[in-house]
Structure 1
């Protein structure tokens, strides 16, 4: 169907296909609103596929006296653990304590107690130094006093976005990637009346009418709606990560620690069969329309921290499998230290244009509801409902015969009802793992056929994350990948070769351990 043949009038247009826009879309559709979501690049292209993969309460926000943010974050973490089981999973964190640096035992105990009180579950415990050494072989033992074990959670961020969009579209919403919002349309009185759209691939333009528009474009938010507060503006901050195999960096528990130079909190996290080392926090001076990449200084900064916490880890940058970087939309009142900036969000309203920006992955649903409440007066008189409902309405049923429960649970957590279509596909290697990854070949085939894939990087970096977890970003598996996805993508041989060449270039520029500079 041509895109300009979509509905010409809807109740709500959402601009931005990251986790905030996807959250708004999901809740609005659930309320019976006719919704159109548009994204100028791919769904989850920005920060929502390049985060640190954590659904966390924000323990460090207590130190900054951001009690409201911590309260919201812990509550949302608990909700997601209950409602998005499998996609959002608990993870044990270990924070070693040293005599000469970092927080003391009393301060950590107080913070973690508050953490657990908010969650309503007592989960943290103190470990003596001997036990810390057992859990983290090779840890720096100089002046090691002990450590705390506590719980947070992690997620496949891009799949969270796609699951939200998937439920919304199955219930009647429309979501278009590679569709640019050129301008917000207003009537003679200045009230919002729609959006002018452009198909990025064809250049075709058209208009869709709506009484309200949500601007959920992250770091691009002020291009559609300049901040109404002269002292408050978006500050793009980059966070970069190195990714290692578990053989190279054999860490079983997530470790939270402090950089020896600037005392910033960092982490080492097992995730999707690999280990993440991150994250940096500095001003991003590059073009936000281009994919960011880790810098040489950031890589050295992360490795210096790793060397401090696990001195005997013989790990270099060249041992990494991949790297990735994301740009956070942080609201700033001035040039304070980047890591001390607040992660709270703001909602701005201008006669039907509602902008939401700032915030963090964990609290996406809070952002979504604050935004919808602000937009509701422009849409209908009746209040919106369901703020306390489960995040996902599609419930997993009985495991199909012949399928392992853990496999079905994992697939359902990522695809919802789409899992049934995925399992019905007849593809080479089917439910076998793709190389050393936790992903299976049928996931590639399903995404190619059902999840609006326009380019190879959509498929390998966001639908299935092999571009992040396999050496060379999955390029070594390209002949087998071609066999599974070329037909459902309906690409001829010439198109396939162009896409592989483009993906190869992109991965080397932005995702290799040593990104190639243009």
Structure 2
């Protein structure tokens, strides 16, 4: 199979004459929901085009909490169906995407007088086991708990609860799904914005697209337009006269060096200020801490960033759970914030809003939004179920299929964990990635689990148009390294500038833009 985006492919976009092709679906939005729909539609014979106004996974799908989880907290809210659905999809991803989706054990301290209390927590875990068809030992005494998590607070510690969920690199998951969709004939284009909807007889029939790279516009028609823009969904729906339904909620995170907060388990706790769940867990060679859940009042047209109040909130959680670590803001490598597309039900407390997805049809525009990263396949199939009556002549039972094709095995050129990681992230293109590596590029970039070769491959074959695409989404170096990886930029340039065919002026302009973005949105607020 060819690489998902051949070198030079994006720069030749006008020659592709997208406007002249016949499309069954025009999918607007390049996050995990849009990618999932593109995959499920393409493998079922539909001619589908996905467009994204920024970069793939630019919005919520690169700024999530990185957890592929069954929604344990939804049990407390009585959402048994959502939890069952999430558990099944989590287990499917663990089976089919090893190295990209990995098990993660969680530990929750049982403190005297703490909430939700041992009995309630263990009841939830018993239901969790029942839904997943597994049985685990969930309670340990304080001595064993401290052996598992030696740096937690010890005062009033009676023991602890343990369970297993999963984690992923959310942006790489989106890229892997898009790659799979491309293998079935799907087309995905980044930096191509839907400026306005096209209509005929009052019905949406396409969109006017603006090329943010080359400038220029074209009108693309399709039998059905799907709005998969997440937190931005009301913008397109508003063009049909529909009333707003989205409540944008911001979730912010801290990134710390693994040596400063070393964890083998993910540690979950109830925040001392409001009893919301907060966690810290090992991810990609660093430790992630999150998340907040607050109304996002800023414009969705600007990139989200953590606020001073959110930093203080997360630091208080760390000080409470890990008092002996002496953590302070100087330990923070990076921050990031994402905006969740939550359906507004009028709850006063943002955290009490439901996390189910929703599908609406307005003047022929099908909108799908909300939901969880874990259940992207379920969401995609539900969107296509609603699409069937709008696509006369197309018939499919829409039964779940394996998410990814059979795994490609790399042999012994990489060690076990590294080999599994590359196989999981790159699928059928993994052998070509290794073949493209120059001497020394199969070594890890210090402080990360990323190979230098991944930078070359992304620059050559993964539609990188700006340095931020490379360092914040194709790889996560901008989150894992202090200063956004500034000390490695010379070597990154030596590897990637020839692959991107950028002039010195283009590189320097993109580098300056990346560093300005990092300082404004991924560092501590000034």
Q: 1:151 aligns with which of 164, 175, 200?
A: 164
Does structure 1 residue 215 correspond to structure 2 residue 227?
A: yes
The answer (yes or no) to whether the contact 1:97–1:103 under 8 Å persists in 2 is no
Q: How far is 1:381 from its partner?
A: 2.6
Q: How far is 1:226 from its partner?
A: 4.2
Q: 1:200 aligns with which of 212, 227, 248?
A: 212
Q: 1:502 aligns with which of 510, 513, 516?
A: 513
Q: Distance in 2 between matches of 1:231 and 1:60?
A: 30
The answer (yes or no) to whether the contact 2:408–2:428 under 8 Å persists in 1 is no
The answer (yes or no) to whether the contact 1:399–1:405 under 8 Å persists in 2 is no
Q: Distance in 2 between matches of 1:88 and 1:229?
A: 40
* Deviant stretches of 4+, over 3 Å: 226-232
Q: 2:54 aligns with which of 20, 24, 41?
A: 41
Q: Distance in 2 between matches of 1:408 and 1:383?
A: 40
- Call closer, same or farther: CA 1:146–1:231 in 2, change over 3 Å: farther
Q: How far is 1:365 from its partner?
A: 1.0
The answer (yes or no) to whether the contact 2:267–2:279 under 8 Å persists in 1 is yes
Superimposed CA distance per residue, residues 91-143 of structure 1 (whole angstroms, 9 cap, x where no aligned partner): 00001111222122211111000001000111242110111112122322222
Q: How far is 1:294 from its partner?
A: 1.1
| Counterpart residue number, 1:482 | 493
Q: How far is 1:348 from its partner?
A: 0.3
Does structure 1 residue 425 correspond to structure 2 residue 397?
A: no
Q: How far is 1:227 from its partner?
A: 11
SS in 2 for 1:501: helix
Q: How far is 1:400 from its partner?
A: 2.8
The answer (yes or no) to whether the contact 1:239–1:325 under 8 Å persists in 2 is yes
Q: How far is 1:83 from its partner?
A: 1.5
- Call closer, same or farther: CA 1:435–1:36 in 2, change over 3 Å: same
- Call closer, same or farther: CA 1:16–1:89 in 2, change over 3 Å: same
Does structure 1 residue 515 correspond to structure 2 residue 525?
A: yes
Superimposed CA distance per residue, residues 66-113 of structure 1 (whole angstroms, 9 cap, x where no aligned partner): 222111111111111112111111100001111222122211111000
SS in 2 for 1:481: helix
SS in 2 for 1:211: strand
| Counterpart residue number, 2:280 | 268
| Counterpart residue number, 2:447 | 436
Q: Distance in 2 between matches of 1:40 and 1:227?
A: 17
Q: Distance in 1 between matches of 2:242 and 2:323?
A: 47
What is the aligned-residue RMSD (CA, Å)?
1.7
Q: How far is 1:229 from its partner?
A: 12
Q: How does 1:381-396 map to 2 (within 5 A)?
A: 381-385=393-397, 387-393=399-405, 395-396=406-407
Q: Distance in 1 between matches of 2:240 and 2:205?
A: 21
Q: Distance in 2 between matches of 1:73 and 1:124?
A: 21
- Call closer, same or farther: CA 1:231–1:179 in 2, change over 3 Å: closer
| Counterpart residue number, 2:503 | 492
Does structure 1 residue 107 correspond to structure 2 residue 117?
A: no
| Counterpart residue number, 1:67 | 80
Q: Which runs of 5+ in 1 are unaligned?
A: none
| Counterpart residue number, 1:285 | 297
Q: How far is 1:334 from its partner?
A: 0.8
- Call closer, same or farther: CA 1:488–1:231 in 2, change over 3 Å: closer
Q: Distance in 2 between matches of 1:301 and 1:503?
A: 28
Superimposed CA distance per residue, residues 281-334 of structure 1 (whole angstroms, 9 cap, x where no aligned partner): 101111112111111111111111111111111111111111111110111111
| Counterpart residue number, 1:246 | 258
SS in 1 for 2:40: helix
Q: 1:133 aligns with which of 125, 136, 146?
A: 146
Q: How far is 1:230 from its partner?
A: 8.9
Provide TM-score, normalisation by structure 1. 0.96
The answer (yes or no) to whether the contact 2:234–2:244 under 8 Å persists in 1 is no
- Call closer, same or farther: CA 1:228–1:361 in 2, change over 3 Å: farther
The answer (yes or no) to whether the contact 1:232–1:331 under 8 Å persists in 2 is no
Q: How far is 1:171 from its partner?
A: 2.4
- Call closer, same or farther: CA 1:228–1:14 in 2, change over 3 Å: closer
SS in 2 for 1:225: helix
Q: Distance in 1 between matches of 2:398 and 2:422?
A: 26
Q: Distance in 1 between matches of 2:127 and 2:324?
A: 35
Q: How far is 1:65 from its partner?
A: 1.3
The answer (yes or no) to whether the contact 1:18–1:45 under 8 Å persists in 2 is yes
Q: How does 1:394-473 map to 2 (within 5 A)?
A: 395-473=406-484
Q: Distance in 1 between matches of 2:141 and 2:244?
A: 45
The answer (yes or no) to whether the contact 2:74–2:80 under 8 Å persists in 1 is yes
SS in 2 for 1:257: strand
Q: Which runs of 5+ in 2 are unaligned?
A: 1-11
- Call closer, same or farther: CA 1:20–1:140 in 2, change over 3 Å: same
Q: Distance in 1 between matches of 2:121 and 2:395?
A: 42
Range that drifts further, 349-358 or 107-116:
349-358
| Counterpart residue number, 1:364 | 376
Q: 2:387 aligns with which of 372, 375, 389?
A: 375
Range that drifts further, 343-352 or 420-429:
420-429
Superimposed CA distance per residue, residues 18-49 of structure 1 (whole angstroms, 9 cap, x where no aligned partner): 00000000111111111100000000000100
Q: How far is 1:215 from its partner?
A: 0.3
Q: How far is 1:497 from its partner?
A: 0.5
Q: Distance in 1 between matches of 2:378 and 2:53?
A: 24
Q: Distance in 2 between matches of 1:505 and 1:332?
A: 34
The answer (yes or no) to whether the contact 2:381–2:398 under 8 Å persists in 1 is no
The answer (yes or no) to whether the contact 1:231–1:333 under 8 Å persists in 2 is no
Does structure 1 residue 81 correspond to structure 2 residue 112?
A: no
- Call closer, same or farther: CA 1:170–1:515 in 2, change over 3 Å: farther
